[in-house]
Amino acid sequence: MASVPGQHIGILREENIALRQILGYRLGTLTSSPYRLPSIGQSLPGTCIKDILLVGVDVDTGGGYEVISEGQSFHIGISIFDTRSLTKQLQDLSDAVKSYQFINNNSKPCRWAAKSFLFGESNLIELADLPASFSLLTQGRDYVLVAHGIDADIKFFNNLNPEIANGACYILDTVKAAQYPLQLYYRYSLESLLDEFNICYAKLHAAGNDAHFALKALLMIAVRDGQMASAPETTTPIHQDLFRILDAIAHAPVATPIWTEIPPTTSHTPQTKPKLGIYAKRRLRAAVKAARRASQELPYHTDELNGQGDHDGENQYKTAGGLPP
């Protein structure tokens, strides 16, 4: 592989500064960075964490994203992480990220997505009703849109209803956000990003799953970003607890399907011996006769082979207790 200039490795992105502001870590870098972001939402009482919904989205279609054609099939994933959960005692970490999937018809891709969705049942809706469903899920809260390679998703939302993207406090792409903490000079796929963070996943490319796992990857991007710094502000017990909780949520168990190379047998009916045809039976009888003739031409009898002709040997075995030495 050709060498890559050092200045292209691990570029600090605006997304990294936004993530630090949202989750309240490495705040000293906000003023020293070249990016000047407006305040993203309000802080939770007594913390530096923003009162925000992180909303992971993914849109998958067999057609393009520039326009929505009649009869075009879509599966749309929406996953939500509420930063308020960071101030509570979570009973089940698996519930911290809530995931939903919507399909707009019963096409083959939509049926596959519905079957592959790991987090419940998919919702069959008209595309025109998706903005109302999105509003119901966000409940008037401030939110940040999150996706892995978000440009195509934003095109879809702008074609459907521009207010979904326009209403976001910020739009955060995990492709860009991962480059600085992981010191990359190229862009990771979602699968590579999940492997890097040892996040268990399955059935990618179903939109609901992609939205879920992209959001978990974002939490680990924050953990890696926070832990790579040696500044005292990231080594305080408060920040260590924050990173520990984010890590635990990102690695919360997911009921992934178990794959086997050989499918289990579905029938316990005993196998029957194959039936021989008439020609096979004739060849078998001929082979048996030939074997008998060959045995008769041997210079010894079969009973000698069995040891019955060796009386001395037989007495020797009896003397030794009936077993050969």
H helix runs in 199-266, sequence order: 207-227, 237-250
**Residues 31 and 156 both lie in one domain:** yes
pLDDT less than 50: residues of the chain: 1-3, 260-272, 300-325
Q: Confirm if 80 and 101 have CB atoms less than 8 A apart.
A: no
Instruction: Please check whether residue 296 lies inside any domain of the structure.
Output: yes
**Residues 173 and 54 both lie in one domain:** yes
For position 70, which CATH number holds?
Answer: 3.30.420.10
Instruction: Please check whether residue 282 lies inside any domain of the structure.
Output: yes
Instruction: Please check whether residue 313 lies inside any domain of the structure.
Output: yes
**Residues 180 and 118 both lie in one domain:** yes
Alpha-carbon torsion angle 65, 67, 71, 77, nearest 10: 40
**Residues 163 and 211 both lie in one domain:** yes
Instruction: Please check whether residue 111 lies inside any domain of the structure.
Output: yes
Instruction: Please check whether residue 161 lies inside any domain of the structure.
Output: yes
Condensed to tens digits (0 to 9), the pLDDT of residues 204-248 reads 999 999 999 999 999 999 999 998 866 666 667 888 999 999 999
- pTM here is 0.76
Which pLDDT score is estimated for 145?
98
Cα 80 to its chain centre, rounded Å, is 17
Domains of the chain: total: 2
Q: Which two tokens stand for residue 273?
A: 């011996």
Tell me the residue range of the domain where 101 lies: 6-250
Give the integer Cα–Cα distance in Å for 104 and 124: 6
**Residues 148 and 285 both lie in one domain:** no
**Residues 122 and 32 both lie in one domain:** yes
**Residues 10 and 52 both lie in one domain:** yes
**Residues 38 and 160 both lie in one domain:** yes
Condensed to tens digits (0 to 9), the pLDDT of residues 253-272 reads 998 776 533 433 333 344 44
Q: Which two tokens stand for residue 210?
A: 């992609």
Q: Confirm if 137 and 100 have CB atoms less than 8 A apart.
A: yes
Instruction: Please check whether residue 265 lies inside any domain of the structure.
Output: no
Q: Which two tokens stand for residue 113?
A: 């997505």
Which pLDDT score is estimated for 291?
72
**Residues 152 and 203 both lie in one domain:** yes
Single residue among 250, 269, 292 that ends a domain in this structure: 250
Instruction: Please check whether residue 314 lies inside any domain of the structure.
Output: yes
**Residues 132 and 168 both lie in one domain:** yes
User: In the beta sheet, which residues pair with residue 102?
Assistant: 76, 123
Single residue among 232, 250, 268 that ends a domain in this structure: 250
User: In the beta sheet, which residues pair with residue 225?
Assistant: none
**Residues 60 and 111 both lie in one domain:** yes
- Helix count and strand count (H, E) for the chain: 13, 6
Instruction: Please check whether residue 183 lies inside any domain of the structure.
Output: yes
Q: List the strands of the sheet with 53-61, edge to edge.
A: 123-124, 97-103, 74-82, 53-61, 143-147, 170-173
**Residues 234 and 298 both lie in one domain:** no
User: In the beta sheet, which residues pair with residue 58?
Assistant: 77
Q: Confirm if 169 and 40 have CB atoms less than 8 A apart.
A: yes
Which pLDDT score is estimated for 237?
82
Q: Confirm if 178 and 193 have CB atoms less than 8 A apart.
A: yes
Token pair 């990173």 is found at 243
